[in-house]
Amino acid sequence: MNDARLNVEQVEADVLCIGGGPAGLCAAIRASEQGAKVVVIDKSHTLRSGDAGMGNDHFMCHIPDVQGELPGFFNKIGKMSQAVTKTFWENAYDLVKLWDSWGIPMKYEGRYEFAGHSIPGYPNFMLHFSGQNTKVKLTKQAKKAGAKIINRVMILDLIHDNGTIAGAIGFDVRNPKLLVFKTKAVILATGKCMRLFPQNTGSLFNTSTSPVNTGDGRAMAYRAGCELTDMELNDRWSGPKYFARNGRGSWTGVFRDPNGIQIDPGNEMPAHFYPELHENYQKSGRGPLYMDLSDISDEDYEYMKHFLIHEANTPILDFFKEEGVDPREHPFEFMTYGLITPGGINYNEKCETPLAGLFAAGDEFMSFYIAGAAVFGSIAGESAAAFAAQAKPLDEKRAQIPVVTAKELLESVLNRTDGATWQEANNAIQQVMADYCGLIRSETLLTAGLEHLRRLKKKVPQVLMAQNQHELMRCVEVLNLFDIGEITFVAARERKETRQYHRRTDFPFENPIIGAQTLAVKKENGQPVPKWIMKA
Ligand SMILES: Cc1cc2nc3c(=O)[nH]c(=O)nc-3n(C[C@H](O)[C@H](O)[C@H](O)COP(=O)(O)OP(=O)(O)OC[C@H]3O[C@@H](n4cnc5c(N)ncnc54)[C@H](O)[C@@H]3O)c2cc1C
In a domain, 296, yes or no: yes
Domain membership flag for residue 157: no
Q: With CA atoms as reference, report the closest residue to 164 among 463, 393, 505, 450.
A: 393
DSSP 159-228: EEETTEEEEEEEEESSSSEEEEEE-SEEEE----B-SSS--SSSSTT--SS-TT-BSHHHHHHHHTT--E
Nearest CA, atom 16, ligand 1: 370
Contact 92, 62 (CB under 8 A): yes
Pocket test for ligand 1, best of 59, 370, 375, 483 (most atoms within 8 A of CB): 370
* Consecutive H or E run containing 7: strand 7-12
Ligand 1 pocket test, candidate residues 30, 56, 207, 351, most atoms within 8 A of CB: 56
Residue 91, C-beta contacts closer than 8 angstroms, at least 6 positions apart: 375, 378, 379
Burial label for 362, CB within 10 Å (0-12, 13-18, 19+), is buried
Q: What is the DSSP letter of 108?
A: B
CATH number of the domain at 248, please: 3.90.700
Position 271 scores a pLDDT of: 66
Q: Considering Cα of 405, then 407, then 408, then 412, what sign does the dihedral take? A: positive
Q: Cite the DSSP H helix spans in 211-287.
A: 216-223, 276-284
Tell me the CA–centroid distance for residue 224 and ligand 1, in Å: 23
The whole-angstrom separation of Cα 25 and Cα 20 is 5
Domain carrying residue 254: 235-339
Q: From the alpha carbon of 155, which atom of ligand 1 is closest?
A: 42
Whether residue 254 is contained in a domain is answered as yes
Does residue 300 belong to any structural domain of this protein? yes
Closest ligand 1 atom to Cα of 310: 8
Phi, psi of 34 (to 5 degrees): -85, 0
Query: How many domains does the structure of the chain reveal?
Result: 1
Question: What residues does 10 pair with on adjacent strands?
Answer: 180
Which element (helix H / strand E) includes 521? strand 517-524
Instruction: Answer yes or no: is 245 within a domain.
Output: yes
How wide is the angle at C-alpha 283 spanned by C-alphas 280 and 285, nearest 5°?
A: 110
Give the C-alpha separation, 172 to 165, whole Å. Answer: 22
Distance 471 CA to ligand 1 centre (A): 21
Which protein residues are within 6 Å of ligand 1, measured from CB?
A: 18-24, 41-44, 49-52, 54, 56-58, 60, 154-155, 189-191, 209-210, 212-213, 216, 245, 311-312, 362-363, 369-371, 373
Confidence at residue 272, expressed as pLDDT on a 0 to 100 scale: 67
**Residue 259 identity:** N
* 222/358 Cα distance (integer angstroms): 12
pLDDT 10s digit of each residue in the chain, 536 long?
Answer: 688 899 999 999 999 999 999 999 999 999 999 999 999 999 999 999 999 999 999 999 999 999 888 777 777 777 888 899 999 999 999 999 999 999 999 999 999 999 888 777 778 899 999 999 999 999 999 999 999 999 999 999 999 888 899 999 999 999 999 999 999 999 999 999 999 999 999 899 999 999 999 999 999 999 999 999 999 999 999 999 999 876 667 888 899 999 999 988 776 677 667 889 999 999 999 999 999 999 999 999 999 999 999 999 999 999 999 999 999 999 999 999 999 999 999 999 999 999 999 999 999 999 899 999 999 999 999 999 999 999 988 887 777 778 889 999 999 999 999 999 999 999 999 999 999 999 999 999 999 999 999 999 999 999 999 999 999 999 999 999 999 999 999 999 999 999 989 999 999 999 998 888 999 999 999 999 999 998 87
Distance CA(487)–CA(218), nearest Å, equals: 10
Residue 1's pLDDT is: 67
Whether residue 241 is contained in a domain is answered as: yes
- CA–CA dist 345, 487 (Å, integer): 13
Rg (Cα) of the chain, in Å, rounded?
Answer: 23
- Cα–ligand 1 centroid distance for 370 (angstroms): 8
Dist CA 496 CA 493 (whole Å): 7
Side-chain-side CA neighbours of residue 460 (13 Å): 25
Nearest ligand 1 atom to alpha carbon 54: 1
pLDDT of residue 84: 94
Ligand 1 atom closest to residue 209's alpha carbon, by position in its atom list: 53
Residue 389 lies in a domain: no
What CA–CA distance (Å, rounded) separates 189 from 24? 5
Interacting residues of 466 by C-beta distance below 8 A, sequence separation 6+: 413, 414, 416, 422, 472, 474, 475
CA of 376 to the centre of ligand 1 (A): 13
Neighbours of 196 (CB within 10 A): 24
Atom of ligand 1 nearest to the CA of 24: 25
Question: Ligand 1, residues 169, 369, 480: which to mutate, most atoms within 8 A of Cβ?
Answer: 369
Distance, in Å, from the CA atom of 263 to the CA atom of 503, rounded to the nearest integer, reads: 26
Nearest ligand 1 atom, CA 377: 25
Do 149 and 143 touch, CB atoms closer than 8 A? Answer: yes
Gap from CA of 507 to ligand 1 centroid (Å): 35
Taking CA atoms only, the protein residue closest to ligand 1 atom 4 is 56
Q: How far is the CA of 364 from the centre of ligand 1 (A)?
A: 10
Distance (Å) from CA 221 to ligand 1 centroid: 18
Which ligand 1 atom is nearest residue 371's CA? 11
* Ligand 1: centre distance to CA 329 (Å): 33
Q: Which of 51, 378, 483 to mutate to test the pocket of ligand 1 (most atoms within 8 A of CB)?
A: 51
Provide the whole-model pTM: 0.97
In a domain, 519, yes or no: no
402: number of Cβ within 10 Å = 18
